[in-house]
Copies of this chain bind each other. A is one copy, B any other.
Amino acid sequence: MSHIYLLSPSSAVRDKAALRRGVKRLEAAGHQVEVDAHALNRDTRFAGTDTERLAAIKRAAASGADTVMTTRGGYGLSRLLPALPYKAIAKSIDKGTHWVGFSDFTAFSLAVMTKTRRVTWAGPAVVEDFGALDGVDEITDLCFDDLMTHMSEGTGWRIGKDDPTAFSAQGLTLWGGNLSMITSLVGTPYLPAVTRGALFIEDVAEAPYRIERMLTQLLHAGILANQRVIFLGAFNRFTASPQDRGYGLKAVIAWLRTHTKARVITGLPFGHVPTKVLLPVGQTVDVAATGREVLVLWSHDHTHAHHH
């Protein structure tokens, strides 16, 4: 049984029924779920004022929980980055707390990685995942259980047919998350300076040309040149435009491959989709592709982020 602390650091929870379903499912799985007193707050589009959301993060850091998880993403962490309680967060991680979330949470993960060199987890949120009407995705659930039971050692998936095969790389720094959030941190003190990186990215409701524009920013900022591998998760829920005329995700991936020496691997089960593996952000990993599968392995020691 794990102690899970839920908080809302970003957008206000609108689907309260989904939150209740998620809490019930986590409890049914044997976890002790503690919901932050302000998790259902609302201040316009945010889950409370900046001050209230910062206070919730402080309570979560002091909770002693095994896992701190967000109710949902949305928007709101960018504004809080200068004021995050980095020391308290680092201390909680050193004591064994896993911080888990995705989407807007990317800003939190990368800022914590940059400022404290600690590892947080890209993974599910309550409303979108555990509260889903048709149940939790099986793989998401299994990966989450692995983390809860300290069995999380790596992940693997079937890669795309045009992806590079038969290679391996050791000692890479795994990092990334939502591409819009990553690019929104370029040029700020909250983006880690990763060398020998394994960058994973996903995004939702962004047209292919916008994904390319963001990748172009990472290219021109010198960030792509420091990656050995780039993992592409889901890019979905965008509307094709009559302007596109065949300029889709395939064209973006082809463009990316001509502009980076990093191996571009597709099919990562992560993003705004039901199936999400959990990924330690800031963790040193080994990557190996054989045949049509890729494995990403991390050690048991996933407290400290390694980057130089």
Contacts and interface: CB of A to CB of B under 8 A. Distances in A.
B213 A245 contact: no
Contact of A220 (B190, B214, B221, B243): B190
A2 interface: no
B14 A79 contact: no
Q: For this complex, into which size category does the number of interface residues on chain A fall?
A: 35 or more
Interface in A236-276: 241-247, 251, 255
A213 B75 contact: yes
Interface of A is mostly: loop
A20 to B, nearest CB: 19
A148 B67 CA distance: 65
A81 to B, nearest CB: 7
Given A44-B245, A246-B44, A217 B187 contact: yes
Given A75-B209, A187-B187, A187-B220, 20 more contacts: A11-B243, A12-B243, A12-B245, A14-B243, A42-B245, A44-B245, A44-B247, A45-B209, A45-B243, A45-B245, A45-B247, A74-B243, A78-B213, A78-B217, A79-B212, A82-B220, A184-B217, A185-B220, A187-B221, A188-B220
